[in-house]
Chains A and B, each alone.
Chain A
């Protein structure tokens, strides 16, 4: 099993509300996104990261999270969502400069047309102190999409515009030793 780079998108301007991966090659088995993000807006609690699939927002998504905020552990779930959701992984201008949240997001069997899609993620950020809930968070997330459609595009967004320096790297995981389609 090998991991191959598909595409990277980094933010260099001040008006970037989404990072869009289109025409995702259908030659891999799984997808992995590595996100390094910060928003320009301001809110004490870090923002969620959302993933719109194939350009549409049907009410076919759900998520669960298990989170630590430096003081306590909490959990949450949500059904009838319109996106994949990775909560609490995007800090913003409320938080210290130069701090970016990170996540490793896996979507297994993304092109399989016989099953729904499940996303699993670890993510979070630390700001070296602060007062919860407006400080560091670390999260374990699952998110599901009931559709059997193959995933051909993913649009990552949060709240407002991404900060300069944000980036997402998308990878394909394959059983083949040689990269294909990327």
Chain B
């Protein structure tokens, strides 16, 4: 959105100063934000503008699955069985790598604390979704997640593929086992490539 402001500071002269709000914001532009009330399992973003180059997701999550830890996933366009991922993870004792082949509902991209973890502890996660609006390539996700529970937990790095050439217009971020804990937050940003 652009705003034009006409200054009349100098008599008889009207200066035209162009102010572009998007330029003021830089290349990372907020699209939407979700805060859980305890009854939702998913943060859902619909009608995602197709004007950016990449998407950036920031999570601060806790689950209610009755355990100490849960995973969280991404699903796009309400479509199942189009995903795959490769993980590298450490729990403070060992570093491991695993692969999910054709995970059905979405692609797991990190872990978060859950019901029996110390109160007030949530995960910190970021995920990059590359070329989300492309109609010719699959989409690649890079995700980092920090799930530290003071003696337990893990940190992970994930590369995932969304096996569709359709542009992403709907995005779900959801905790795998149960509803998100109240106060959990997911924010979505667009990354511009141009003015």
Contacts and interface: CB of A to CB of B under 8 A. Distances in A.
Contact of A179 (B23, B96, B128, B136): B23
Given A73-B96, A102-B159, A128-B102, A122 B26 contact: no
B158 interface: yes
Contacts of A128: 83-84, 101-102, 161, 163
Interface in A1-57: 2-5, 8, 34, 36
Given A68-B97, A128-B101, A137-B159, A100 B140 contact: yes
Interface string B1-43: 0000000000000000000000111111000000000000000
Given A127-B84, A128-B101, A5 B159 contact: no
Interface string A100-124: 1111100000000000000000111
A140 to B, nearest CB: 6
Contacts of B70: none
Interface string A71-107: 1110000000000000000000000001111111000
A101 B141 CA distance: 9
Interface string A126-142: 11110000011111100
Given A71-B97, A73-B95, A3 B27 contact: yes
Interface stretch (B60-68, B85-93, B111-119): B85-93
A176 to B, nearest CB: 10
B138 A73 contact: no
Q: Secondary structure of the A side of the interface? A: strand
Interface string B116-145: 000000000000101100101110111010
Contact of B136 (A99, A102, A165, A171): A165
Contact of B142 (A123, A169, A179): A123
Contact of A169 (B89, B144, B193, B195): B193
Contact of A102 (B87, B95, B130, B195): B130
Contacts of A66: 88, 95
B172 to A, nearest CB: 19
B86 A126 contact: yes
From A103, A127, A178, residue with most partner B Cβ within 10 Å: A127
Interface string B136-162: 111011101000000000000111110
Contacts of A177: 24, 26
Interface residues of B, number: 45
A100 B140 CA distance: 7
B50 to A, nearest CB: 16
Contacts of B195: 5
19 contacts: A2-B25, A34-B191, A68-B89, A68-B95, A73-B97, A100-B140, A101-B140, A104-B142, A122-B144, A122-B157, A127-B84, A129-B99, A136-B161, A137-B86, A138-B86, A138-B88, A138-B159, A165-B136, A167-B131
Given A67-B88, A179-B23, 20 more contacts: A2-B28, A4-B26, A5-B194, A36-B130, A68-B86, A68-B87, A68-B97, A69-B97, A102-B141, A122-B157, A124-B86, A125-B159, A126-B85, A126-B99, A129-B99, A135-B86, A165-B136, A169-B53, A169-B191, A177-B24
3 closest residue pairs by CB, A with B: A128-B84, A68-B88, A68-B97
Interface of B: 23-28, 53-54, 83-89, 95-99, 101-102, 128, 130-131, 134, 136-138, 140-142, 144, 157-161, 163, 165, 191-195
